[in-house]
Homo-oligomer: A and B are copies of this chain.
């Protein structure tokens, strides 16, 4: 019963098979191989647009390289105050931008509102030399609270950002989980909605270690080959990144994996909602569930071997009643590798049936 994260899962068999298949014979190093070329081709198809694409092994690298390309050292990146780039990357964006400032914006359920965004940007007037200069908006889809922006919401926020001269980045570590939950296509949820640079995740959704930094305007990617290299993120045996991404995309494998993960989350959320004393904190929209459990439920689940993180109470937003003394605030994540039996057993315990 491991609901700690979608990165405690391994890789999908199909992706592992692709790695094995890619192993045969020599291949050009540093991304000049045919697998990497094929990955770019497939991503261009998926996004219905010619793109520039840079494969790396981690989401932090993907986000930080993307932000480094669109934010100068004296720039500001606007993001949700609980976002991954703000809270969970130990200052990677600061390192890759050579010292830019991340400006956190509060917002219910992990989402930034348009008015808050506009007001925050306005607090950093263009040309006011004492202050860092507005450079980028970074949105997470799905958010750190497991919620989703609709394509319209992304469009609206991107329009505000573009109107103020900012570039728009999307942290898509869970892009697939978001996509399959919304009635839109990859292009709709990204460049058609105004996203300029996308960190397109695969690792949390079944890859071994593979993420793509995608520039929808290839002309803006000119520094990336060098920045990827000097940050140590250009893998010598690049074929193995390419092979993962190809297998991930071919035949809609990525969509199937995400649908599986989300379906487990639907069932888990439903089961918890019916469990006595359990409160679902934010709406379950992708593959993460944030819930407040009675402490006795938490104790029973852990005694049964369930794994999940207690979530920081600091991460609460104003719209939610904080956990009481005898309650625990937790995050549960499902993945393609989650077992239905684990979900059912977890629910049964939470409902006091096991």
A residues apposed to B, CB below 8 Å: 2, 4-5, 7-11, 16, 19-20, 22-30, 56-62, 64-65, 72-74, 87-92, 94-102, 119, 123, 129-133, 203-204, 208-209, 223, 225-227, 229-237, 239-240, 307, 312, 314, 337
Q: Can you list the 8 inter-chain pairs with the closest CB atoms, starting with the nearest? A: A61-B232, A94-B99, A10-B23, A74-B226, A98-B98, A2-B26, A7-B236, A60-B232
25 residue pairs A–B, Cβ–Cβ below 8 Å: A7-B236, A8-B27, A10-B22, A10-B26, A10-B239, A11-B237, A16-B20, A57-B209, A59-B236, A72-B223, A73-B227, A73-B230, A74-B230, A87-B131, A90-B132, A90-B230, A94-B100, A97-B99, A98-B99, A99-B230, A101-B102, A129-B225, A208-B237, A208-B240, A209-B209
The answer to whether B29 touches A4 (Cβ under 8 A) is yes
Residues of B within 8 A of A203 (CB): 236-237
Q: A58-B236, A129-B90, A237-B11 are in contact. Are A95 and B209 (CB under 8 A)?
A: no
| Chain B, residue nearest A58 (CB) | B232
- Complex Cα spacing A99 to B64, Å: 12
- Complex Cα spacing A226 to B96, Å: 14
**Chain B CB within 10 A, most for which of A10, A90, A119, A131:** A90
Residues of B within 8 A of A26 (CB): 2, 4, 8-10, 307, 337
CB distance from A4 to the nearest CB of B (A): 7
- Complex Cα spacing A24 to B240, Å: 20
- Which of B29, B231, B236 makes the CB contact (< 8 A) with A95? B231
Q: A123-B314, A203-B237 are in contact. Are A230 and B29 (CB under 8 A)?
A: no
| Chain B, residue nearest A128 (CB) | B90
CB distance from A316 to the nearest CB of B (A): 12
| Chain B, residue nearest A2 (CB) | B26
The answer to whether B10 touches A223 (Cβ under 8 A) is no
CB distance from A247 to the nearest CB of B (A): 14
Residues of B within 8 A of A58 (CB): 232-236
**Chain B CB within 10 A, most for which of A10, A102, A337:** A10
Residues of B within 8 A of A74 (CB): 90-91, 223, 226-227, 229-230
- Complex Cα spacing A235 to B314, Å: 26
